[in-house]
Structure 1
Amino acid sequence: MTAADPPRAAKALRGAAAAVLVLEGIAVLFVPRGIAQTDEGLGGGLLALLLVLALVLILGSGIQRRPRGLVIGTALQVPLLATGLINGVMWFVAGAFLLIWAYLLQVRKELVGTAFGTVEAPDRTDGGGSATPTP
């Protein structure tokens, strides 16, 4: 099943992908608080790494309107999942976001016809002729 207007559906799903990436960036910003309460504490290098990841996720939301935005957003799921190595709770949080991202790609594939490709506007001509309005 494809949407009646695939370009419009693709635009809506790009907005949803951008929102998911922003939420992922915000979730990563909560990780330092959890690590600071452990015995090892929070070092400067680890804090910088988490802040950079959060910034990259938020900036990644801004490039969702580009042709390769979904590919970059999908690639950013890997470092998000790797935050589980830093704090065990992030395995669950990142796993939930990964499932949401996979569902978003599946919905896009069903509505648009492709998970990552560009979407072309449907041909509105009648039988291959010129697109002239009828009186």
Structure 2
Amino acid sequence: MTTPPPPADGTDGEAPRSGLRNPQAAVRGLGAGTLVLEAIVLLLGIQPIRIMGGDLNEWGIASVIALAVLAALLAGMMRRSWAWNAGTVLQVLLLASGLFHWSLAVLGLIFGAAWVYALYVRRTILG
């Protein structure tokens, strides 16, 4: 009995682990979506913190705006390999901005967990 020839597409005949046609694009989309959502939540969170009696001073507001802009820029750069590491640094910076107001630390924990999940999915899909 002879074995069938390998597929013409150059693969070894095994199906992709994830079943996705373009797993890299799917993972980039997950990372970018997480960062865009983070940027939106950060910008929308400034005013409620100020209204609810938060002592978010000018430095705190500036750090939130800077982190939101950084998250949006990183979302557009997810094709770069270093963007995933920069996204991890962004999560640490957001957690550290909890020194300005406790609610920013809470957001840092929430989005840090979301980022850890995105990294887990990335590792699972891409290997």
Q: Where on the TM-score scale, by shorter chain, does this alignment land: which range?
A: 0.7 to 0.9
- Which is richer in helix? 2
Q: Aligned to 2:112, which of 86, 98, 101?
A: 98
Q: Which amino acid aligns with 2:108?
A: A
Q: Which amino acid aligns with 1:43?
A: N
Counterpart check, 1:21 vs 2:35:
yes
- SS of 1:76's partner is helix
Tell me if the contact between 2:60 and 2:97 (Cα under 8 Å) persists in the aligned partners: no
Identity rate, percent: 32
Deviation at 1:32, TM superposition (A): 2.5
Structure 2: distance between partners of 1:9 and 1:58: 22
Structure 2: distance between partners of 1:30 and 1:87: 15
Structure 1: distance between partners of 2:110 and 2:41: 11
Which residue number corresponds to residue 84 of structure 1? 98
Residue correspondence of structure 1 range 1-135 to structure 2 within 5 A: 2-4=17-19, 8-37=22-51, 38=53, 40=55, 42-113=56-127
Structure 1: distance between partners of 2:121 and 2:40: 24
Structure 2: distance between partners of 1:47 and 1:105: 28
Provide the aligned length of Structure 1 versus Structure 2: 111
Could you list the runs of 5+ residues in structure 2 that have no partner in the other structure?
1-15
What TM-score results when the alignment is normalised by the length of structure 2? 0.73
Structure 2: distance between partners of 1:108 and 1:39: 36
Deviation at 1:108, TM superposition (A): 1.4
Task: Please tell me the root mean square deviation across aligned C-alpha atoms, in Å.
Answer: 2.3
Tell me if the contact between 2:92 and 2:108 (Cα under 8 Å) persists in the aligned partners: no
- SS of 1:102's partner is helix
Describe the superposition over 1:78-122 as per-residue Cα deviations: whole angstroms up to 9, x where unpaired: 111123222222333221211111111111111111xxxxxxxxx
Could you list the runs of 5+ residues in structure 1 that have no partner in the other structure?
114-135
Which residue number corresponds to residue 11 of structure 2? none
Which residue number corresponds to residue 118 of structure 1? none
